[in-house]
Amino acid sequence: MVTYILRRLVYGSMVVVVSSFLIFVFVSTTTDPLETANLNPRISRTTLEKVTRDNHLDQPVIARYGYWVRTVVRGGFGNTIVTERPIWPDIKRVFGHTVQLVIAAEVLALLLATALGVYSAVRQYSPFDYSATTLSFLGLAIPTFWLGLILQIIFINIFLKWHVRIFYTASLSSIDPGHGVHFFLDRVQHLVLPVVTLATVQVATYSRFMRASMLEVVNADYVRTARAKGLTERIVIVRHALRNALIPLVTLSAITFGGLLGGAVITETIFGLDGMGLFFINALNGGETYSIMAWMLIVATMVVIFNIVADIVLGFLDPRIRLD
C-alpha cells in the first residue's frame, strides 16, 4: 500500500509541475498584464516601465516562468501588477470561505445521493424510483444561477411580507455577527441558500451514478451468495453491495470536490460570497494576470490532490486496484 501511495504522489507531483507550466505559458501569451494599466491615464509611462522591470515582463516567457515558480515555492504568488498588493493573503482568506461552502454542500449531497441511489436501486421501478429519477433529471436541468436567484426571491419576499429573517440572501456574515454560538448561527443562516444551490446539482448527479452502480452490484454472484447464506437483506446491501457500489461515486466526488474548492464561481457570484469563485471573477474583470494564474494553479493542484485521495480510498475499498 505504501508503494501504491508513493507512486500516486510522484505522478501527481509531475502533473502539477506540467500544469503550472501550461497555465503560465497560456495565460502569459494570450493576455497582457499591463492592459488595464495602459488604459489608466493617471499611470505615467515611467511607472509602467518600472512595473515592467520589477515583474520581468520584458524577458522571455521561460525566464518569467522561472521567476514565478520561485515566488510560488517561497510561499506566495507574488503581488498584483499595478497596486502591488500581495496575492497570498487574499487567497488564504477566500479559500477558507470556499472550503466552508464546499464541504457543507458536498457532505449534504453525498449523504442524500447515497441514500436515494441505494434505495432507488433496491426498489427498482417502484414509485419512489420513478420519483427520484424525475427529480434527478430536474436537478440536472435547472441552471445553478436560476435556482440561486429563485431562492433569493423567495426568501426576500418572505422577509418583506412577514419581516421574518429565515436565511440571508447575500454575503457570508452580518455586520456584527457576534461571537461563539451567535457567530455560528449567523454563518449558517448565510450559507444555507448557497449550500442548497450548490448541492442540488450534485445530488442529482451523484444519485444517478449511485443507482447505476448499485444496480450492477446487487445482481453480482457474491451478493447472491451472501443472500444464500441466510444473511438479512440489510446486511447484504450495507456490508457487501454498498462497498463496491461506492467506487464510481468516490472517484466522481473526489474530482468534483477538488474542482469546487477552486471556486464555485456562479454560486459565489450570485450570493456575493467572498470566496475563490468571486476572487476569480474580480481578478478577471480587473485584468490581474498573476491573480488569475494563482487561482488556476490552486484549482489544478486541488484536482490532483483529490484524485490522489480518491485513488487511496479506492485502494482500501478494492484491494485489486493497488495491484494495477
pLDDT tens-digit series, residues 26-78: 888 877 777 777 767 777 777 777 777 777 777 888 888 888 888 888 767 88
CB 169 within 8 A of CB 155: yes
CB 197 within 8 A of CB 108: no
Whether the pTM exceeds 0.95: the reply is no
Q: pLDDT tens-digit profile of 180-224? A: 788 888 888 889 999 999 999 899 989 988 998 888 888 777 888
The label of the residue with cell 445530488 reads: 203
| pLDDT for residue 319 is more than 80 | no
CB 25 within 8 A of CB 65: yes
- Which DSSP state fits 320? G
Distance CA 58, CA 71 (A): 18
CB 129 within 8 A of CB 216: no
3-state helix, strand, coil in the chain (%, to 5): 80, 0, 20
CA dihedral 161, 200, 269, 192 (to 10 degrees): 50
Q: Which three cell numbers stand for residue 59?
A: 524577458
**Range 82-90 average pLDDT:** 82
The gap from C-alpha 196 to its chain's centroid, in whole angstroms, comes to 14
pLDDT: which is higher, 112 or 234: 112
Distance CA 191, CA 101 (A): 7
Using a pLDDT cut of 90, give the percent of the chain over it: 13
Q: What is the pLDDT of residue 320?
A: 63
CB 178 within 8 A of CB 186: yes
Q: What is the pLDDT of residue 1?
A: 67
**Range 105-113 average pLDDT:** 92
- Indicate the range of 147-161, 196-210, 243-257 predicted with least confidence: 243-257
